[in-house]
Amino acid sequence: MSSSPYRKQNSKSDAVSVTLTDEVGRSLTCNIEYSMDLEGQEYALLLPIDSPVEIFTWNEDDADEAAIPVEDETEIDKIFDTARVVLQEQNLTLQRTAVTLTVIGELPDFPDEDAEPDADPEQESDFEELMWLTSFYHEEQEYAIYTPLDPFFILARMNDDGQPELLSEEEFERLEPMLPMLEDQFFDELD
């Protein structure tokens, strides 16, 4: 495994930006944070330039049930305009992009983990790796929009033209066990 010239050097601001396009033509502009050669193929860890967001809902029968991510494109189509309006109230612009929904604008400050040292660990939120942005109702169903607190990396294959391509399901399943090691290696090189 070797790194390529696309790799971000020592956190300098000379990151290379690329556009990832999905099968329906939606695009997502990302920085190449790290690239590597695996089995003769160039792969890259991409970090979206705009902030990724996720929409969750709950089963209306059980309010104590864990939140369910909204992943069905038809449901996202139904609630997208409402979600966009609620986020505009926070000066955030919701976008339908490849791989994930994103927002343009300045996110609120992330909560300081040390702010509540006496917090009961049993009362920690189910969303400890996500930060709540807003909630809304659509047709009497509650939804909430969160942004990840950790970097949202996307593993992509680099084609011969230096452009990223989404991985097939089979390719992703084959490489998925290596992701933690690749992310650790990337963070080690930043130190």
Indicate whether this model's pTM tops 0.75.
yes
CA distance 51 to 103: 5
CA distance 27 to 9: 25
CA distance 74 to 40: 38
| pLDDT at residue 79, as a whole number | 97
CA distance 44 to 32: 6
Q: Is the pLDDT of residue 46 over 80?
A: yes
Q: Is the pLDDT of residue 10 over 70?
A: no
Task: Give the number of residues written for the chain.
Answer: 191
Q: Tens of pLDDT along 66-84? A: 889 999 999 999 999 999 9
Q: Is the pLDDT of residue 11 over 90?
A: no
| pLDDT at residue 51, as a whole number | 96
Q: Tens of pLDDT along 108-167? A: 887 665 444 444 444 444 445 899 999 999 999 999 999 999 889 999 999 999 999 999
Band (17; pLDDT cuts 50, 70, 90): very high
Mean pLDDT of 74-101: 96
Closest CA to 131 of 117, 121, 145: 145
